Amino acid sequence: MARANGRVAALLHEYAELLAIVGSDAFKARAYEKAARAVAGHHEDVGGMDEAAIRSIPNVGKSIAGKAAEILRDGTFQGLEDLRAEVPEGVRQLAAIPTLGPKKALMLYRERGVSDVEGLLDAVNTGKLRGLRGFGPKTEQNILAGVSLMRRAGERVPLNVALKVAEEIVAAISEIPGCERCTYAGSLRRGRETIGDIDILAAASDSTPLMERFVDLPQVAEVIAHGDTKTSVRTYAGLQVDLRVVPPECWGAALQYFTGSKAHNVRVREIAVRQGLKLSEYGLFDAESGALLVADTERAVYERLGLAWIPPTLREDWGEVAAAAKDELPTLVEVKDLRGDLHSHTDLTDGVATLEDMVAAAAARGYEYYAVTDHAPDLTMQRMTLDKAREQRERLRELQQRYPDMRLLHGSELNIAADGSVDWPEEILAEFDVCVASVHHQFRLSAAEQTRRLIRACENPRVHVIGHLTGRRMGRRDPIDLDFDAVFAAAARTGTALEVNGGPQRLDLKDEHVRWARRHGVRFTIDSDAHSTTQLEYVRYATLTAQRGGLTSDEVINTWSYQRFSEFLERKRSAS
């Protein structure tokens, strides 16, 4: 079963939101928010901790530890239930709309009786918000745009959420006697950035025990359909999960079929047809005689069609079938190729783990080098100062003694101002081993302005990496407008790496931008942007995205030996 941390953090977070809506002490709401983040990012499973141990988590005091214990025992806590009774669920959803917040959500509810998103749209469209203090025409436009942004994220869930659910279910199904194989397929196996529903595939001669166990899993809230070969359920998190059970002998054909994408499968079936063959989830057949040719492994199916096995992350009909026919598929970068992480935060700025804990967690991943890149002073809310940065550097240098096998790099995540300048002057930047520069505000400049801004950042000799280039946050914020060709060309020309950020709401660059940028000869990093020890694993999602972009390890600088990697940084300094 998953760590209890996520569950506890979710309820603390909900409580914080409700406190903000009902207008309690803002600092109290923030205390719950901080505690939720601390619990979510804590390295130990709170499910196995007593109240005193929970209290030892930073930013969790007596009161919140008590509530966490209550959650572990009862699944909720009284204070939360009281507020839930006071504030309709829909009002919380209103506060989640970009540009709305707790205050405006409550105002809509109190003054106009708006208690869900539908009601809000109706109120805007029928002019019911006219005259409401603080709600002018621009606000109405922003509401419509915000709802549209959320709707576009739709019912889909982030990759990481779906992956966790799928892995739990696959583990449970795999344990059932008679289950010979089990894995997830569909868009999840292809590593898409969001997932609509989860497809689980299992191989067994007798499907009955698997189906029976599946509908009984603790995650299952509702059974949508229940048959011999396919059963669909909805989890408590609202995710639809389909389990399909196939005979073991057609595992490969079924996995190929259910992994998709649809466009990829159409392309592959066309090739089969041209060869007088027929491909289905049951196998590859001779079209004329109907004789089964192969079905047991994916590789055998592809090979019988004259194709190299195609990694699932490439199966989007973006040219991978033609490449497979010519045996020209790239050897994709994998998580195990990563020798370092170049973007992470500690509690000196907005991370929740100490420098020591982050370094220890990075070492546990087996990295050869690891950069701590806390925010620089322009993100004023983080209150970074030069003194603090230098003191952190001293601590890191001392820590280095304890990690002879991992090179500790002192870095900074710089903030790119609207004019393309960054927080610190050249001589200060020179003190850092590595600098990631990112956009954190001014998201609405014109494409021309954003392009100038980013090109100037690339041209800074002390900027080695551009972090999360487009600044998008799925369902929350659109990407900035850019002339991508111009920025990619500048990155390639100046030897500035572009980051594939693994934050599940970011995944920025996204797959298509990676493909686009690599045509310019850009180098990349695969980074976690971790704000806690557990988030170091976000490189997993960045790697899937990089794979979808077709990246090989040769294009990703943090798969390189430290020697080669440091030469890349050095060239940047001297070239620009």
Partner DNA sequence: GCCGTTTTCGGCCCGACTGTTTTCAGTCG
Binding residues (CB under 7 A) for DNA: these are 25, 27-28, 30-32, 35, 58-65, 95, 98-105, 133-140, 142, 379-383, 440-442, 444, 473, 476-477
DSSP assignment of 488-524: HHHHHHHT-EEEEE--TTT-BS-HHHHHHHHTTT--E
Distance separating alpha carbons of residues 93 and 471, to the nearest angstrom: 23
Cross-strand partners of 162: none
> Nearest approach, Cβ of 162 to DNA (angstroms)?
23
Q: How far apart are CA 122 and CA 114, in angstroms?
A: 9
Angle in degrees, 0-180, between the axes of helices 78-86 and 5-22, rounded to the nearest 10: 40
Instruction: Quote the CA–CA distance of 241 and 243 in Å, as a whole number.
Output: 7
Q: Which is nearer to DNA, 289 or 380 (CB)?
A: 380
- Cβ proximity to DNA: between 312 and 475 the closer is 475
- d(Cα 528, Cα 340) in Å, to the nearest integer? 10
Nearer to DNA, 65 or 295 (CB): 65
Q: Rounded to whole angstroms, what are the CA distances from 429 to 80, 315, 324, 555, 576?
A: 47, 42, 45, 25, 14
For residues 93 and 142, which CB has a smaller minimum distance to DNA in the complex? Answer: 142
CB of 238 to DNA, least distance (A): 23
Alpha carbons 246 and 227: distance in angstroms, whole number: 13
Q: Which is nearer to DNA, 59 or 297 (CB)?
A: 59
Question: What residues have CB less than 8 Å from 299, skipping those under 6 apart?
Answer: 252, 309
Give CA–CA dist 309/301, Å, rounded: 8
Q: How far is the CB of 192 from DNA (least distance, A)?
A: 23
Cβ 34 to DNA shortest distance, Å: 7
Strands (DSSP E) contained in 249-404 are 277-280, 283-286, 292-294, 340-341, 369-375
Minimum distance of DNA from residue 525's CB (angstroms): 20
Residue 435: CA count within 13 A, CB half-sphere: 28
Closer to DNA by CB, 395 or 548: give it: 395
For DNA, which is the closer residue by CB, 533 or 543?
A: 533
CB of 26 to DNA, least distance (A): 8
Min. distance of Cβ 382 from DNA in angstroms? 6
Q: Which is nearer to DNA, 96 or 428 (CB)?
A: 96
Whether residue 372 contacts residue 495, with contact meaning beta carbons closer than 8 Å, is answered with no
Helix 159-174 / helix 208-215 crossing angle, nearest 10 deg: 130
Query: Rounded to the nearest whole angstrom, what is the least distance from the CB of residue 168 to DNA in the complex?
Result: 30
Strand residue runs (E) in 402-460? 407-415, 434-438
Nearer to DNA, 30 or 336 (CB): 30
Would you say 285 and 291 are in contact if contact means Cβ atoms under 8 Å apart? yes
| CB neighbourhood size of 209 (10 A) | 15
Q: Are 78 and 389 in contact (CB under 8 A)?
A: no
Residue 417, helix vs strand vs coil = coil
Nearer to DNA, 440 or 548 (CB): 440
We find the least distance from the C-beta atom of residue 435 to DNA, in angstroms, to be 18
Q: How far is the CB of 546 from DNA (least distance, A)?
A: 24
Residue 284 three-state SS: strand
Provide the edge-to-edge strand list for the sheet that holds 465-466: 340-341, 369-375, 407-415, 434-438, 465-466, 497-501, 524-527
Quick one: 23 or 154, whose CB is closer to DNA?
A: 23
Q: Is 552 helix (H, G, I), strand (E, B) or coil?
A: strand
- Shortest approach of DNA to residue 52 CB, angstroms? 13
Comparing CB distances to DNA, the nearer of 340 and 471 is: 471
CB of 63 to DNA, least distance (A): 4
Closest CA to 450 of 464, 424, 427, 471: 471
d(CA 455, CA 483): 10
Determine contact, residues 356/533, Cβ cutoff 8 Å.
no
> Quick one: 103 or 151, whose CB is closer to DNA?
103
Cβ neighbours, 10 Å, residue 369:
21
Min dist CB 241 to DNA, Å, is 31
Beta bridge partners of 341: 370
What's the token pair of residue 294? Answer: 């192969």
